[in-house]
Amino acid sequence: MSPRTALRSLGRLPLRGILWGFRLVHRSSRWLEQRFTPAGRFAIGFASVAGAMGVDTRLNLAHQLFALLAALLLLAMLWSLGFRGRFRVRRDLPRYGAVGQPLQYRMHIHPESGKTERGLELLEQLECNPPTLDDFLRERDPWRRGRNWFDRMAGYPRWAWMMRRHAGAAAPDQALPDLPPARSTEIRLELTPLRRGYIRFTGVVVARADPLGLFRAWRRVQAADRVLILPQRHRVNATALPGGRRYQPGGVSMASEIGESDEFASLREYRPGDPVRHIHWRSLAKLGRPVVKEYSDEFFVRHALVLDTFARADADADADADFEAAVSVAASYAAAIDTQDSLLDLLLAGADVHHLTAGRGLSQSAQLLELLACATPCEHRRFSRLKNAVTDNLGAISGCICVLLDWDEPRQEMIRKLSLAQVPVLTLVVSGRLRGPLDPEPMGRHPERLHLLAPERLAEGLARL
């Protein structure tokens, strides 16, 4: 290790200690919130005040109140040791959810204790990995402008916001009805997704408060599940997309098979030079002479939907908002374009360049949305990777929808190449920091197809297209 690397690592040690403290505080606060009821937390606060005031027992009787509350809390915690309930649970989750829309699902809970269980509560447990130091330094709290200077300097509110975001949803506690023995009871639950991507359930906690209503006894049940949360979508005018029918070498089947093939048209007599693989063996057996399958190429509409994932190196909360808005725009078009009689190619870059085709018996639009739901920004790769993937498919594209995060020279060069190849392009630049008008020169003869969309007015901007 070089001296410079050693010094950089040494300088990060205090930050790692601060994050360890954040993690400890967060776990402690979550434990207090989940194990103690609201009445129990009030008793803890009141006991703390009474203990501070009753340090000198000669001045007042606050120490007696502290002793009473402490004894009640201790008894409630000891009572929880007698909770021996056993349960089996099973979730019925939908295949997809959407950001910001309540996700309703069912859970079947089966007690195994042999008696009716009463007064229970259910707490969902979601996977939430603490952010790394690099993530903590990179991400910016979108609510930082509304926080006081101490919260901005301390950083714990940002840590707590990142933990909620990593969990992906807010799952409220659910009171359970009486559970009869040896029988499964179905309950309906609801949570609100906070981000796109997978929300992972690790298990559930079945809790019961003590007779005083101060402390909850816990029984944790392992129940791993996951549900995919799709990006937020808006209404778009998909009928006004650029481009028309275009010759596609090999027909539709070229996208579903390895190599090139054609679309079946009819049967005809064998001619010298016809490949053996085209012989129709059933007709040969019936007629006694070779008959071959004849193929023809097709003309149909094939759109390309290009999502720019290359965030700025100085990414902040505004850049994150731009990227999320761009994913939402791409998802809106992916869901709105009719792929029954056309094809839609989605191109985006991550660790690799992803190219997925939907329509006419190939992948479904839902698979495009799944890919968009898991898209992440690229910060350390060059935009040319995506530009090369787009230009390599110019011959088959009828029209192109480009959702970009900036309007710099590399992006303008890609649009210029599409225009020179006479591929109709609809260019949507999603940015909260750019101010129009944008330079329309790369759009060629169609500058009206260049639009700047503000993330905070995304639905309004898409409705005007």
**Rounded mean pLDDT of 191-203?**
92
The reported pLDDT for the residue numbered 120 is 93
Beta strands in 370-445 (DSSP E): 399-404, 425-430
pLDDT band at 253 (very low <50, low <70, confident <90, very high): very low
Lowest mean pLDDT among 251-255, 445-449, 451-455: 251-255
Report the percent of the chain where pLDDT is more than 90: 32
DSSP string computed for 37-89: -HHHHHHHHHHHHHHHHTSSTTT-SHHHHHHHHHHHHHHHHHHGGG----EEE
User: Residue 383: phi, psi to the nearest 5?
Assistant: -65, -20
The reported pLDDT for the residue numbered 266 is 66
CA distance 81 to 47: 23
Higher per-residue pLDDT: 284 or 323: 323
What ranges do the domains of the chain cover?
83-128+168-230, 264-296, 299-463
Whether residue 38 has a cis bond before it, omega within 30° of 0: no
Q: pLDDT tens digits, residue range 98-122?
A: 988 899 999 999 998 888 889 999 9
Task: Specify the long-range contacts of residues 454-463, CB closer than 8 Å, at least 24 apart.
Answer: 455/321, 455/322, 455/324, 455/325, 455/430, 455/431, 456/321, 456/432, 458/234, 458/325, 458/328, 458/329, 458/430, 459/234, 459/235, 462/234, 462/235, 462/236, 462/329, 462/332, 463/234, 463/235
The dotted CATH code for 83-128+168-230 is 2.60.40.10
Q: Which two tokens stand for residue 121?
A: 């509560």
CA distance 151 to 140: 13
pLDDT > 80? residue 143: no
Q: Is 380 exposed, middle or buried (0-12, 13-18, 19+ CB in 10 A)?
A: exposed
> DSSP assignment, residue 117?
B
Q: pLDDT tens digits, residue range 163-184?
A: 888 888 888 888 999 999 888 9
Element of type H or E holding 450: strand 450-453
CA distance 47 to 44: 5
Cα–chain center distance at 23: 24
Pick the CATH number of 299-463 from 3.40.228.10, 3.40.50.300, 3.40.50.261, 3.40.50.410: 3.40.50.410
Cα–chain center distance at 345: 21
Report the percent of the chain where pLDDT is more than 70: 83
pLDDT band at 434 (very low <50, low <70, confident <90, very high): confident
pLDDT band at 3 (very low <50, low <70, confident <90, very high): very low
Lowest mean pLDDT among 175-184, 227-236, 256-265, 347-356: 256-265
